A and B are shown apart, each in its own frame.
Chain A
Amino acid sequence: MAQAFAERLRTALPAVALTPRTESGLMPAMVVTVAADDWAALGSAAHGLGARWSACWVDPEPDHWRAWVLYELGGAYVLAQAALDPRAPRLPSLTPVFAAADRPERAIRDLLGVVFEDHPDARRWLRHQAWRAEVHPLQPGQPLAGAPPARTPADVGYAFRKIAGEAVHEVAVGPIHAGTIEPGHFRFAAVGEQALTLETRLGYTHRGIEKIAVGRDAAGLLRLAARVSGDSTVTHAWAACMAMERAAGCAVPPRALALRGLLAERERVANHLGDVGAIAGDVGFSFAQMQFGALRERWQRRSAERFGHRLLMDTLCAGGVRTDLDLEGTQALLQDHARLRAELAPLTAILLDHPSLEDRLVGAGVLSAADARTLGCLGYLGRASGLTFDLRRDAPYPPYDRLPVRVPLYDSGDVAARMRVRLDEIGVALELMDALLAALPAGPTSTHWEAPPAGARGLGLVEGWRGETLAFVRFGADGRVARYAPRDASVFAWPALERLLPGNIIPDFPVCNKSVNGAYAGCDL
């Protein structure tokens, strides 16, 4: 599949002379190498074929830097690389071709000083006031401690886009929001109650994850990966494991893979239960919020009882998992699944035909299929707007390679559709977990982990509850991580929120936001 995609790119670009190859650590992607000058031409060719821009990262290797960009087309991946001059790293921007590349490129510019030529937006993104414009903390020579001011001033002076008009007023919210949520800044332009535009400004929870990953061993990296975004702890840990294991050629035992699948589906169910309740709560339907809150609580308690952690943190290790299930545990989980199904049926019926709920959710926060495609939206966000991609089905990795994965699909793109997808996905996850438990392979839950030699690199791709999630790892000497680049699916959620909000009233912002539920931490790193 990847081969055919690479072949089509080669045909589309006769002047570039692409030579697609494979590299075991970077499977299932085909790798192509281009000159930096051909970066945009390759992007245009990929766009012309209908490919999706999935991720971009830059790896400051010892002798030269390397830029990577990942494209996906119908479940086939092509990973392109270009060498950069560390003294003057520059690369043509892909943002004019792929809107999704916008903020990720600006983040790379802030952290590594790569100049993205023709990038339409010169404003910084992850950088606020903790480091100066000419300092790029992720460059290898920069000290971990940096040289921050004693008291980092507030980030005033970010040039939010201005909307002119007599009756237009601006509403500024954040970084601290009214409720218990992560920090970020929202800038609305509104006429009366109606929002004309929304611009989000993130970076408040930037914790320097990519920098503090450098020099860690596999276990240390996994502790960090598990905390990229706490609600996706299994997802990011799995992606990091997969990257390291592919880099090291480590064969993970089948039982461990099945358990990873089980843990990832448990994470999906927990988050969807919480979010469906929160969506209902945001429009004042506290009955459902309490019911789903109770279901989620019971689910988390079972996670703590069987896997040692309510959010399933630190349950994975390089080479396998750090947990196991006995027969009794398997039975308990199967009973839970049956019980949850039985409890969800009447609740779902209430949610789907409660008139006052319908009034608030149907037609609210519509993300068009065209916008979803342009922004590369993933997971439930894409599936509510007609995009069906799901790694578990379209580029299956074990244990999903032996399971049929149903992917719910809606096209109305509104809050109601996003809630529908989540309810459906709970059902799919329960089916998958039942199937995994029914055929749980015997054998060990982990294999001996041995770090690969310096230079080994690997790519991890996992369908988290928010959608395709990525990790790239390159090892340095002594089994220490030299580069860790995670990419959360939330990166595509925030631009989507900006597109779906205009035309809605500002009081509907919370429910629109909740239905999209991008992580701040996952983007800020």
Chain B
Amino acid sequence: MLRILHRVITTGNLTEPLDTSASLESLGIEVRRTLGARYAGSFAIRHVDAGSCNGCELEIHALGNPYHDLERFGIRFVASPRHADALLVTGVVSRHMQEALLRAHAAMARPGLVIAAGACACDGGEFGVSYASLGAVDSVLPVDVRIPGCPPAPALLLRGLLAALGRATV
């Protein structure tokens, strides 16, 4: 226990302030609709991997590490789409995931934002459209926020999520 406490104390606080100096436009983040101030205190996200290579998931995981500490913004990942304010979709929409994605979306409370994260989700990326893939998320669902990158770095993901909340300088 003492070793753990020692380590906690010597590690200190690693969480960084978010750099908002660049405009969303210059970052390539596209925002069509925001949830706005109503969700300022708490924002619940259901992530759906609709056919990714798992690279995007690694960077979403990194949002939870001490450097990014997503939860300080009141943003949480939730298990049920019924508790979610936004669907965060990664990957192309594989045809085998089409129905599951649509059902997750249908289960959300409205207005139910859809955020496409990563090149695959935004425009089909390296996989595109084929017998196996429907390509970008907007071939299946209306997309409100697009976060580019392959995969988007955590800082970019954070900016995109805050933009969806109407809490970043646009």
A287–B125 Cα distance when bound, in Å, is 37
B58→A208 contact, CB < 8 A = no
A274→B58 contact, CB < 8 A = yes
CB distance from B90 to the nearest CB of A (A): 9
CB distance from A484 to the nearest CB of B (A): 13
CB distance from A126 to the nearest CB of B (A): 9
B99→A294 contact, CB < 8 A = no
Contact of B8 among A142, A287, A311, A521 (CB under 8 A): A287
A224→B126 contact, CB < 8 A = yes
A129→B79 contact, CB < 8 A = no
Does B86 touch A at the CB level, under 8 Å?
no
A519–B58 Cα distance when bound, in Å, is 12
A274–B60 Cα distance when bound, in Å, is 13
Contacts of B92 in A (CB 8 A): 207
A502–B103 Cα distance when bound, in Å, is 31
Find the B residue at minimum CB distance from A184.
B49
Given A208-B132, A311-B151, verify A130-B91 contact (CB < 8 Å).
no
Contacts of A211 in B (CB 8 A): 130-132
Does A233 touch B at the CB level, under 8 Å?
yes
A229→B54 contact, CB < 8 A = yes
B100→A204 contact, CB < 8 A = yes
A290→B65 contact, CB < 8 A = yes
Does B24 touch A at the CB level, under 8 Å?
no
A176→B55 contact, CB < 8 A = no
CB distance from B12 to the nearest CB of A (A): 11
CB distance from B35 to the nearest CB of A (A): 20
A204→B67 contact, CB < 8 A = no
A64–B48 Cα distance when bound, in Å, is 41
CB distance from A14 to the nearest CB of B (A): 45
Contacts of A313 in B (CB 8 A): 55, 150
CB distance from A22 to the nearest CB of B (A): 35
The interface-forming segment of A40-48, A296-304, A325-333 is A296-304
Does B108 touch A at the CB level, under 8 Å?
no
Question: Mask for A138-181, Cβ within 8 A of B = 1, else 0?
Answer: 00001111111001111100000000000000000001101111
Given A178-B79, A207-B92, verify A310-B130 contact (CB < 8 Å).
no
Contacts of A520 in B (CB 8 A): 54
Contacts of A205 in B (CB 8 A): 49, 51-52, 91, 94, 96-97
Contacts of A519 in B (CB 8 A): 54
A179→B94 contact, CB < 8 A = no
B131→A146 contact, CB < 8 A = yes
Does A74 touch B at the CB level, under 8 Å?
no
B interface, by DSSP: helix, strand, loop or mixed? Answer: mixed
A144–B132 Cα distance when bound, in Å, is 9
A145–B54 Cα distance when bound, in Å, is 24
A349→B132 contact, CB < 8 A = no
Does B38 touch A at the CB level, under 8 Å?
no
Identify which of residues 340-386 in chain A touch chain B, using a CB-to-CB cut-off of 8 Å: 346-347, 349-350
Contact of A228 among B53, B102, B104 (CB under 8 A): B53
Does A230 touch B at the CB level, under 8 Å?
yes
Does B72 touch A at the CB level, under 8 Å?
no
Contacts of A230 in B (CB 8 A): 52-58, 151
Question: Mask for A43-60, Cβ within 8 A of B = 1, else 0?
Answer: 000000000000000000
Question: Mask for B98-138, Cβ within 8 A of A = 1, else 0?
Answer: 11101110000000000000000000011111111100000
Contact of B49 among A146, A181, A212 (CB under 8 A): A181
A520–B58 Cα distance when bound, in Å, is 13
B126→A155 contact, CB < 8 A = no
A524–B91 Cα distance when bound, in Å, is 13
Does A96 touch B at the CB level, under 8 Å?
no
CB distance from B2 to the nearest CB of A (A): 10
Contact of B53 among A154, A229, A347 (CB under 8 A): A229
Query: Which interface residue of A180, A183, A208, A350 has the most chain B CB atoms within 10 A?
Result: A180
Does B61 touch A at the CB level, under 8 Å?
yes
A212–B127 Cα distance when bound, in Å, is 7
A519–B54 Cα distance when bound, in Å, is 8
Does A293 touch B at the CB level, under 8 Å?
yes
A206→B48 contact, CB < 8 A = no
A208→B151 contact, CB < 8 A = no
Contact of B62 among A182, A227, A300 (CB under 8 A): A300
Does B166 touch A at the CB level, under 8 Å?
no
Given A148-B131, A208-B132, A224-B126, verify A521-B52 contact (CB < 8 Å).
yes
CB distance from A231 to the nearest CB of B (A): 6
Contacts of B103 in A (CB 8 A): 154
Contacts of B126 in A (CB 8 A): 223-224, 227
B128→A176 contact, CB < 8 A = no
Does A131 touch B at the CB level, under 8 Å?
yes
Does A291 touch B at the CB level, under 8 Å?
yes
A71–B117 Cα distance when bound, in Å, is 40
Does A260 touch B at the CB level, under 8 Å?
no
Find the A residue at minimum CB distance from B47.
A180
Does A128 touch B at the CB level, under 8 Å?
yes
Does B32 touch A at the CB level, under 8 Å?
no
B130→A294 contact, CB < 8 A = no
Contacts of B79 in A (CB 8 A): 178-179
Given A182-B49, A212-B128, verify A287-B4 contact (CB < 8 Å).
yes
A231→B130 contact, CB < 8 A = no
A208→B130 contact, CB < 8 A = yes
Question: Mask for B36-73, Cβ within 8 A of A = 1, else 0?
Answer: 00000000000111111111111111101111100000
Does B95 touch A at the CB level, under 8 Å?
yes
Does B26 touch A at the CB level, under 8 Å?
no
Identify which of residues 202-223 in chain A touch chain B, using a CB-to-CB cut-off of 8 Å: 203-209, 211-212, 223
A229–B56 Cα distance when bound, in Å, is 11
B133→A207 contact, CB < 8 A = yes
CB distance from A324 to the nearest CB of B (A): 22
Listed by A's residue number, 9 A-B pairs whose Cβ atoms lie within 8 Å are: A129-B95, A151-B99, A175-B100, A204-B100, A206-B51, A206-B94, A207-B94, A230-B58, A524-B94
